[in-house]
Amino acid sequence: MARINPIDPNNADDKAKELLDGVKKKLGKTPNIFLTLAHAPAALQAYLGFSGAMATTSLPGKLREQLALAVGQANSCDYCLAAHTAIGTSLGLSQDDTLAARQGKASDANAQAAIKFAQNVVEKRGNVGDGDVNALRDAGFNDQQIVEIVAVIAINLFTNYFNHIAGTVVDFPPAPKLA
């Protein structure tokens, strides 16, 4: 049950309406997370800017979604798990890939290292050690990509926490249950 209800775009202030119109134009619909964030147009604008920038990283979209799924699972965020399962599938991840990412696994060693790092970041609240960062380097990630991985983790922490607090109603197909 929502603690913060989504706003009606017709009743949104001018800035929020402009941002929501952009979301609808891009996605064809306006998911509840955006309608709920729109209570604070500055927060919605910040999220959209951060999200848009992350889409331009050197990290493949599939990997960004695997990271989002690992973080979402670590934080038990049903909304993000549903959304990122749908997005990941649309980018070519199989159902098995999405479930594996949630369990901290990937068939690709590079993705596996990044997912493990994301889990460690969440578990250790960012206080990872040299070995954690070196494991990414050993997997072939450069400094730019390490920074990008941290940014992907951070934006997903924001949405996980926001959805927990707001009680955002899931408007994507539910993510499959883990065995």
Is pLDDT of 95 > 90? yes
Distance from C-alpha of 4 to C-alpha of 165, rounded to nearest angstrom: 8
pLDDT of residue 1: 86
Kindly state whether residue 105 falls inside one of the protein's structural domains.
Answer: yes
Same domain, 150 and 65: yes
Q: How many domains does the chain have?
A: 2
Domain check: are 68 and 46 in the same one?
no
We report the CATH number of the domain holding residue 93 as: 1.20.1290.10
Instruction: State the Cα–Cα distance between residues 43 and 157, nearest whole angstrom.
Output: 14
My answer on whether 153 and 66 are in the same domain is: yes
What is the domain extent for residue 151? 61-157
Are 35 and 82 in the same domain? Answer: no
This prediction's pTM = 0.96
Write the CB contacts of 84 (distance below 8 Å, at least 6 apart in sequence): 65, 68, 69, 72, 98
pLDDT per residue as tens digits for the range 11-29: 999 999 999 999 999 999 9
Same domain for 67 and 105?
Answer: yes
Is residue 67 domain-shared with residue 40, that is, in the same domain? no
Residues 141 and 68 in one domain: yes
